[in-house]
Structure 1
Amino acid sequence: MALSAQRRPGHGTTGPSPSPPRSRLAALARSLARRRVPVFLLVAAFSMAAALFGGGVAEHLSGGGYTPGDSESARAGRVLAERFGAGSPDMVLLLEAGAPVDRPELARAGREFTERVGDSPSVVSARSFWTTHDPSMRSEDGKSALVLVKLAGDEGEATGAARDLVPRVTGEQGPFTVSAAGRAPVNDLLEKQSQQDLTRAELLAAPLTLLILLAAFGSLVAASLPMLVGVVSVVGTLAVLRLMAEFTDVSLFAMNITTALGFGLAVDYSLFIVTRYREELGRGLDVHGAIAESMRTAGRTVLFSALTVALSLAAMLVFPVYFLRSLAYAGIAVVVLAAAASLVILPAVLSLVGRRIDRLDVFAGLRRRLPGARQGGTGFWHRLVSAVMRRPVLTGGAVTALLLLLALPFGHARFGLTDDRILPEGSSARAASDTIREDFDGASTSPVTVVLPDLDPGERREDLERYARDLSRVEGTARVDGAAGSWAGGRRIAPPGPASAAYADGGGTWLSVVSSAGPNSAEGEEHVRAVRAADAPSQALVGGEAASLVDTKSSLGDRIPWAGAVIALSMFALLFLFSGSLVIPLKALLLNVLSLTASFGAMVHVFQDGHLKWLVGDFVHTGQLEVTVPLLMFCVAFGLSMDYSVFLLSRIREEYLATGDNTRAVVFGIDRTGRLITAAALVVATVLAALATSQLSLLKLLGAGLALAVIVDATLVRGVLVPAAMKLLGRANWWAPRPLRRLHAKAGLRDT
């Protein structure tokens, strides 16, 4: 066996070693403990500076970022904006008149309003029903009309421009009642709502976390230490996001997701270290000796666990969308910060608290009745694991079948891009968008755009007319508008008019291909593919919302194998260096994937199909999932699952090295970590579940899905599948070929 030669009989079971191994972490802990006053001052200074610097971070974050910036649709959008001042509008103004909008007095007021909007400094172009005479920009009852506004700058600048412009152009405007929809107003409302949701989540999660820690520790003093580290981590997280926003686009949702992740991990890491410290005090070590030994063992595992979570998040860097990439950068920084805060702050604080760590045992009675509260062969986890290992095939097979059954709904998952329906019902942009969807041609504000940057419509008019005619015959095309007029069903339905000039710039042209299908639908995707397959007279770039969805799904799909390889290879290598085994890494990877099945099934069953919505609060289910969310959820949940696997494996390995008995090591490891990992998982699940109270459906989905993944991993996987698999594999768990055993002996992770 790979590790049997390293056994130290009795270690970990009969009391402290007379001379614990030397460790850099232990030496660092002793140094921090001796210099606790400077450490306190530095931490206080860091926290104050971070709070001041990161306080206004939300204003520097960006909405959107769900589509690849180098795709064909993105290039088409840039050319449209730069050369023609056109493309998908940043803002759509809905003007309701209560009377037919083509009446002369309303038409005159509509043109004047459009000109006034267009004259605003931040507006690139504004076009309306009255300036284009486009019938799709008038409602079916003829009493409402649209103004499509293109704003200057990138997405973040457009959001800021909308924040200033919307109050000036909405409400009662002459004979019209005006409301705003579109990407920029939606992003502005998302920013405001996410800040409200973050405050609500923190107010909910903090007291619940303290109660969990009190139940786990009993002592108010011990429970307060992880909370202290968690608060420092949250403050530091906001500063990290603010600093990142100076150099790159950072998703607005990074604030909610990373603060939850940072707080949960900081509390968990501190929980493990404080628990080990109390254990070492109980074994007879003095305060500084207990701190050093805790850092040598639990501190080392914290470092390793942080590395596994960071590497899992790093897999998102392979995807070319800044929503995922910014969350990867921010998540990695936050994980490092959470681990560093635990390893730096706790030695100093523990040296001050000393043996008073168990003071104020307010929940002693409850703690004794909690599952797993008793250790040493009498607790809940000992009995459960012993029962599982007596019948590993039956218990492991039953749980595996259950998890696979829960995953079945994911087989009919459908993916789209996020839109205004992520907002809570009743928000102004959401209400305006609902009205536009119900009363207007659904494709009027999001046509497929075909850019021909090198085709001069004056010189090659016949080629342009032939191409427009061909596109109008494509299945799913309702109408084609361009410099040569309008076409439908293979024939011209309108000659060029005053509005046609907007489709040319003297050296190139573009076409608006209005689809009969919605942009976020399978039919819309098929229409884009058919348009791209048509024979264009010159280089053609196809864009629009439906094209963005096609490009995003294709780009993400192409890179999923690379992300999977990053996670699998890095986790395999790290677990081999940690355990010296080839079998344990493979088993951990398989079980971690299996632990996500329930979350992925629930994601579709609840958030796509709309079942059991009462469990997470009301929201609008669109019949689709945002295409990037499953990737984000997989990377985060996989990292958290591996985090707990490392803590459990460290105790199992410790006992196996001491006894060489695989069954005893598994029972001992799960029994000794039962209450600890249960409390840690409850903390993280509580913090993540607090996200599900958000009024934004995307955060609600992420919070509920990740919380479920953590609970499944901490119960069914750790309590049943891990002991069942390790029982069936026996001593083979620790197998590695001789060359790799020699490699592990030289390069494997040690306590020193």
Structure 2
Amino acid sequence: MIFRHRRAIVWCAAVVVLVAAVLALPVFGELGNENDFDDPSAEAVTARNAVNRASGAFATPSVVALVRLGAPVASAQGRERIARVAAALRDPGVASVVAYGPRVGGDGATSEADLLGGGAPADRRLVSKDGRSTYLLATFRQDDLGARTRIEQRVRGIPYVTLGGGVYAARQVSSQVSADIARAELIAFPILFILTLFVFRSAVSALLPLAVGVATILLSFLAIRIVNQFNGMSIFSLNLINGLGLGLAIDYSLFMVSRFREELAGGKDRQAALAATLKTAGRVVAFSAITVAAALAALIVFRQRFLYSMGVGGALCALIAAGVSLTLLPALLGILGEKVNAGGPRRWKEAIAREARAERSGFWYRHSQRVMRRPVLFATASAVLLIALGLPFTTIRFTGIDASVLPKDQSARIVDDAVKNEFPPNETSPVYISVPRGADVASYAARLPAPVAPPRIQDGRIDLIAPGQPLSDEAKAFVREVRAVPAPFERNVGGQTAGFLDQQGSLRAHLPLALAILAATTLIILFVMTRSVVLPVKALVMNLLSLCAAFGLVVLVFQDGHLEWLLAFDSQHAIESSQPVLLFAVAFGLSTDYGVFLLGRIKELHDSGLSNEEAVALGLQRTGRIVTFAAALMVIAIGCFVTASIIFIKQLGFGVAVAVLIDATIVRALLVPALMRLLGDWNWWVPRPLARLLPA
């Protein structure tokens, strides 16, 4: 049917992609990153919502204005600068301004009784250790009425002020993500075209995966924009769609075009060649997309918007990539026919034909025979190497998300670094407790730990200052102590550190279900494709080994700080909590992707009557070069994330890239042929009752 309607399909696809381009690109302005890493049911979120409702303002300061005084804080110049910045922060959309000296309300009123902490000595927390810098805190009302824009306009002409805090960090992260995507595309597309030109040995063929990739990305952006109308999506999902869409489009195009060429070289006309390609490579592409989508869909069980957005975006992207590869691409192949090899020098065309003839004398055939002659040695050495690479993962430490993920030149990062390094523990990130309004909380507050300053009681909340920096071991221990103090009324503890602890608890609670879904769907899909119960289990074990090695390398590089100079990042000496979960799902799906391509070809050859060993050797020969180059292209497509300025996006790009490289080299080139040889005909074993459940 596709061959008969090939031109109509191409024209319809062109119209759909153009419409998608117009409708999809506004998605960058509609998606955000606010509270992306929170579980809505967490105690810290409950506390934040309660404080928001009680006060009509945000629970923590919205703006942190760092002021370089150029003189001691108590000097006339210091007081004049503080007063000038405080006046600039006053706005109808601002609930309160906290400064060195009196607190200034949103209506401009001041009061000596309103001093921070109830007395002047507490104000010293707003003063740097050298006494020549300070910061002011502005807390926005729930409806800020454009306060941020007006404050920016008033502060723009004041050279000694830098604005940071939550509203600026969120905005700058979103802008940086968009810039990172644009830069990754500018880097990736030219490199990918040059490499695909070399891989496909034809200019016409090299353009096909890029066309499929552009269509996939635009349609995925449109799909995520539609989903966002019903359930908010994270802007970070666009990074994954960009890299994954391009990578899968190249993978699927490479397998489809290679098989089409192979069928043409075997003497079939283009209609018959296209039918054979869809029946074989098309079937494998469909299974691959379902496998990748299922692996990423496991992320949907998590409550954090960052993770479930990645799951939704990645699953949609995989399915759309397969849909485009099984409709638009075959239609283009049907139109091109033999011209699919056009646009390359004669020696490239001769190489294509030569590879088709030399199946039993090619590199991958000889290599697989060599591995299968010593299967125990190669299997043991490969497993030991992967486990050794994974050992650093046992020392992993976790951290959360704050302004420190931004580049050093962003104002929110400048302010965050200054507050952390130059000031004592302070109120930029307080530990707060939501309490019933009107309740007698004095006796409860008196029992709370207070190593830095006495608790500050307000209507509906109690504010505490934790020792150490937010997310530090001291701060986490402090939050646990606060939560352990019994209260005679309902109360919830919130703040940045409390939210981080809740996030870790939420991830631990949902991880078993996600892993069960991922493992079960992978086993079922591979069982249906291979008609074997052994091969899916073996694929699962090999994926775990390759992921173990990838995790270890991520810890070695980003936690321990190796290659900082090369990848241009400042180590946080920890890994963002959600990254292992996300990396596991993405890398697992892509690893299974390559396993599907190889196992699909081996099964096809075994079903044709070849022995287990010959099917493995010939299958590796027919897919070895394709899988190797597909992995290299995927590494570039997703590996370009390492150019991102947001460190956890950089971690994702690096982790997926090394996982794909390990899978395409050590696993597919060494472990697969060795284990296939060791298991022999047991590879294809399936119990009779299960076999009857499968379609013929």
Work out whether the TM-score is over 0.5.
yes
Deviation at 1:400, TM superposition (A): 0.8
Letter in 1 for 2:589: G
Task: Show the 5 A alignment for 1:18-57.
Answer: 31-57=1-27
Do structure 1's residue 110 and structure 2's residue 78 form an aligned pair?
A: no
Do structure 1's residue 71 and structure 2's residue 54 form an aligned pair?
A: no
Q: State the distance in 1 between where 2:618 and 2:87 align.
A: 76
For 1:605, the equivalent position in structure 2 comes to 556
Give 1:60's match in structure 2, choosing from 2, 27, 30: 30
Q: State the distance in 1 between where 2:151 and 2:28 align.
A: 19
| Secondary structure, aligned partner of 1:305 | helix
Q: Which moved more, 1:67-76 or 1:350-359?
A: 350-359
Do structure 1's residue 415 and structure 2's residue 386 form an aligned pair?
A: no
Give 1:92's match in structure 2, choosing from 36, 61, 64: 64
Give 2:455's match in structure 1, choosing from 475, 481, 493: 481
Q: State the distance in 2 between where 1:120 and 1:380 align.
A: 73
Q: State the distance in 2 between where 1:197 and 1:377 align.
A: 45
For 2:268, the equivalent position in structure 1 comes to 285
Deviation at 1:469, TM superposition (A): 2.5
Task: Indicate how the Cα distance of structure 1 residues 694 and 105 shifts in structure 2: closer, same or farther if over 3 A, else same.
Answer: closer
Q: State the distance in 2 between where 1:719 and 1:140 align.
A: 59
Listed one character per residue, the Cα deviations across residues 61-113 of structure 1 (whole Å, up to 9, x for unaligned) are: 11240121110001111111221235222221112222233456754763564
Give me the identity figure in percent: 36
Q: State the distance in 2 between where 1:225 and 1:274 align.
A: 9
Task: Indicate how the Cα distance of structure 1 residues 388 and 163 shifts in structure 2: closer, same or farther if over 3 A, else same.
Answer: farther
For 1:543, the equivalent position in structure 2 comes to 494
Task: Indicate how the Cα distance of structure 1 residues 80 and 135 shifts in structure 2: closer, same or farther if over 3 A, else same.
Answer: farther
Letter in 2 for 1:665: A
Deviation at 1:119, TM superposition (A): 1.6
Task: Indicate how the Cα distance of structure 1 residues 143 and 372 shifts in structure 2: closer, same or farther if over 3 A, else same.
Answer: farther
CA contact (8 A) 1:73 1:542 kept: yes
| TM-score of the pair, normalised by structure 2 | 0.92
Q: State the distance in 2 between where 1:34 and 1:516 align.
A: 72
Give 2:444's match in structure 1, choosing from 461, 467, 477: 467
Deviation at 1:249, TM superposition (A): 2.0
For 1:633, the equivalent position in structure 2 comes to 583
For 1:664, the equivalent position in structure 2 comes to 614
Q: State the distance in 2 between where 1:396 and 1:609 align.
A: 30
Task: Indicate how the Cα distance of structure 1 residues 127 and 43 shifts in structure 2: closer, same or farther if over 3 A, else same.
Answer: same
CA contact (8 A) 1:472 1:478 kept: no
CA contact (8 A) 2:564 2:571 kept: no
Q: State the distance in 2 between where 1:163 and 1:382 align.
A: 65
Deviation at 1:517, TM superposition (A): 2.2
Q: State the distance in 2 between where 1:418 and 1:426 align.
A: 18
Q: Which moved more, 1:435-444 or 1:540-549?
A: 435-444
Task: Indicate how the Cα distance of structure 1 residues 708 and 105 shifts in structure 2: closer, same or farther if over 3 A, else same.
Answer: closer
Q: State the distance in 1 between where 2:223 and 2:148 align.
A: 25
Q: State the distance in 2 between where 1:151 and 1:634 align.
A: 38
Q: State the distance in 2 between where 1:328 and 1:735 align.
A: 33
| Secondary structure, aligned partner of 2:2 | helix
For 1:164, the equivalent position in structure 2 comes to 149
Task: Show the 5 A alignment for 1:558-577.
Answer: 558-577=509-528
For 1:722, the equivalent position in structure 2 comes to 672
Do structure 1's residue 245 and structure 2's residue 225 form an aligned pair?
A: no
Q: State the distance in 1 between where 2:52 and 2:97 align.
A: 13
Task: Point out where structure 2 has 5 or more consecutive residues left out of the alignment.
Answer: 104-114, 117-122
| Secondary structure, aligned partner of 2:416 | helix
| Secondary structure, aligned partner of 2:337 | helix
Do structure 1's residue 622 and structure 2's residue 572 form an aligned pair?
A: yes
RMSD (Å), alpha carbons: 2.4
Q: Which moved more, 1:96-105 or 1:669-678?
A: 96-105
For 1:706, the equivalent position in structure 2 comes to 656
Q: State the distance in 1 between where 2:237 and 2:140 align.
A: 25
For 1:594, the equivalent position in structure 2 comes to 545
CA contact (8 A) 1:163 1:188 kept: no
Q: State the distance in 1 between where 2:96 and 2:311 align.
A: 36
Do structure 1's residue 646 and structure 2's residue 618 form an aligned pair?
A: no
Listed one character per residue, the Cα deviations across residues 108-152 of structure 1 (whole Å, up to 9, x for unaligned) are: 76356435524243x343333331443312222333222222334
For 1:697, the equivalent position in structure 2 comes to 647
Q: How many residues get paired?
A: 676
For 1:269, the equivalent position in structure 2 comes to 252
Task: Show the 5 A alignment for 1:495-574.
Answer: 503-504=458-459, 509-574=460-525
Letter in 1 for 2:635: A
Task: Point out where structure 1 has 5 or more consecutive residues left out of the alignment.
Answer: 1-30, 484-502
Letter in 2 for 1:706: V
Q: State the distance in 1 between where 2:549 and 2:148 align.
A: 40
Letter in 2 for 1:101: V
For 2:112, the equivalent position in structure 1 comes to none
Task: Indicate how the Cα distance of structure 1 residues 288 and 72 shifts in structure 2: closer, same or farther if over 3 A, else same.
Answer: same
CA contact (8 A) 1:280 1:294 kept: yes
Letter in 2 for 1:77: R
For 1:10, the equivalent position in structure 2 comes to none
| TM-score of the pair, normalised by structure 1 | 0.86
Do structure 1's residue 136 and structure 2's residue 125 form an aligned pair?
A: yes
Task: Indicate how the Cα distance of structure 1 residues 162 and 258 shifts in structure 2: closer, same or farther if over 3 A, else same.
Answer: farther
Task: Show the 5 A alignment for 1:163-202.
Answer: 164-165=149-150, 167-173=152-158, 177-202=160-185
| Secondary structure, aligned partner of 1:515 | coil
Deviation at 1:165, TM superposition (A): 4.5
Task: Show the 5 A alignment for 1:348-387.
Answer: 348-362=331-345, 364=347, 368=351, 375-387=358-370
Letter in 2 for 1:242: R
Q: State the distance in 1 between where 2:551 and 2:467 align.
A: 32
